[in-house]
Amino acid sequence: MATVTIAPTRPRRFFELLLLLLALAVGIGGYALTSINRTGALPANLLQHIGILLAISLIAKLGIRFLAPYSDPVILPIAVALTGLGLAMIYRLDQSYQQLDQAIVGMRQLMFVGVAIILAAIVLVLVKDHRRLRSFTYTFGFLSLLLLLLPMVPGLGVETYGARVWIRIAGVSFQPGELVKITLAIFFAGYLVRNRDNLAIGGRKFLGMRLPRARDLGPILVVWLIGILILVLQRDLGTSLLFFGLFVAILYVATNRVSWLVIGFAMFAPAVLVAVQVFPHVANRFHVWLHALDEDVYTQVGGSYQLVQSLFGQASGGLMGTGWGRGYPQLVPLANSDFILSSLAEELGLTGLLAILVLYLILIERGLRTAISVRDGFGKLLATGLSFSLAIQVFVVLGGITRLIPLTGLTAPFLAAGGSSMVSSWLTIALLLRLSDAARRPSAASPAPWNSGIHPSLEAAEASE
């Protein structure tokens, strides 16, 4: 019998370099245009800004070249482009905040970017084979619970805008929930790849759907309870929605049963309605969402002023925007973090916002393509979970600023000011690069199974997938 040999695809590193240079040009161009439009001159520290961004990008590029040479050539440039756009908008807002004697965060955000990329490189060094993570499934599950409980520790947790999701150590604030998106994705992928056969077995049919058996509802009930506890103890609707939606999405991909999506929605929606009746903070979010344009809601403390101002800003931006530095996004509270998409929509217009959303869409698509291509079940579910995590977060943030759904307090990945979000976003990129490297690497060049000769049962399970 004739054997057909398919030549492996060579990594397109030159193509990646061109995209990386284009991504840098986008961020640096926004930084320069802001200063030109506001002062008529280039920023005094432009060369320093360019040098720092080039150094960070060069480190990232070299790291990918040696640590993940077969990785997807599109993922890194898109992450750099989004980060550069975020830095440019934060710098632009800093100029307005400086005139208003408010805190400026641009240099601190640049430092966070450097720290995030260094941590991402460390992940690539430590995780040479993503399948190793599977043996720590329950460790990551325990770590997720620990991180979620940290804000509840007296003296450590900090309440901000009604939600208790921050911790402060030595004067430095951090949001553990940002890391939980990653640790839970690893835990869900490891758990479901072991139990997907049982969860995929159907019971009775209802409205054309094959419902799961009653005894298989345990995992989704446990995760639902965790989501409710987050909603009750931390009063954080966004994080609760993100974690529960992440689990239901991975569960659907693992079992290919639409009934899990229906069950997930049927469980979460009533819980939110109860929370609206019980918790004033959650009720206020819904009241502001439904009655944002009422005068009494607009003028009250904690009312819809922030949301309505962002809507006015987006409307004034129109199709093409006011231009970098020519709008008034600083009138919106938290314009550089929770509402940075609104700030970008005002100065870049609907066209610019759609371009940013396309970048997100391409990044999510490359993650899902990796999930299809990677050879093991755990890798497929992990890539799916990380991609869906980004997708859900972007949807929740965009839905909040456009009044499609209530505001939740989540921030746009890569764009928003804040170290927690930046670190978690780049750690997600590191894992997607590792997974795409495994997916695109020719079989002959793949590393030997990490558990070969050590854990025969796990090796057999891996082979059966």
Q: What is the 3-state secondary structure (H, E, C) of the chain?
A: CCCCCCCCCCCCHHHHHHHHHHHHHHHHHHHHHHHHHHHCCCCCCHHHHHHHHHHHHHHHHHHHHHHCCCCCCCHHHHHHHHHHHHHHHHHHHHHHHHHCCCCCCHHHHHHHHHHHHHHHHHHHHHCCCHHHHHHHHHHHHHHHHHHHHHHHCCCCEEEECCEEEEEEECCEEECHHHHHHHHHHHHHHHHHHHHHHHHHCEEEEECCEEEECHHHCHHHHHHHHHHHHHHHHHCCHHHHHHHHHHHHHHHHHHHCCHHHHHHHHHHHHHHHHHHHHHCHHHHHHHHHHHCCCCHHHHHCCCCCHHHHHHHHHHHHHCCCCCCCCCCCHHHCCCCCCCCHHHHHHHHHHHHHHHHHHHHHHHHHHHHHHHHHHCCCHHHHHHHHHHHHHHHHHHHHHHHHHCCCCCCCCCCCCCCCCCHHHHHHHHHHHHHHHHHHHHHHCCHHHCCCCCCCCCCHHHHHHHHHC
Q: Is 142 inside any structural domain?
A: yes
pLDDT at residue 359 in the model:
97
Q: Is 448 inside any structural domain?
A: no
Could you list the residue range(s) of the whole structural domain that residue 146 is in? 13-440
Q: Is 38 inside any structural domain?
A: yes
* Mean pLDDT, the chain cut into blocks of 10 residues (465 residues total): 44 78 89 86 82 81 85 93 93 83 78 91 92 91 85 76 71 82 90 78 60 64 74 72 85 81 81 80 86 91 90 94 90 91 95 96 96 92 95 94 88 91 94 94 59 38 44
* The total number of structural domains that make up the chain: 1
Q: Is 445 inside any structural domain?
A: no
Q: Is 457 inside any structural domain?
A: no
pLDDT at residue 5 in the model:
40
Q: Is 434 inside any structural domain?
A: yes
Q: Is 451 inside any structural domain?
A: no
pLDDT at residue 126 in the model:
93
Tokens found for residue 369: 């393509």
Spatial CA neighbour of 379 closest among 240, 246, 185: 185
pLDDT at residue 203 in the model:
57
Q: Is 456 inside any structural domain?
A: no
pLDDT at residue 129 in the model:
92
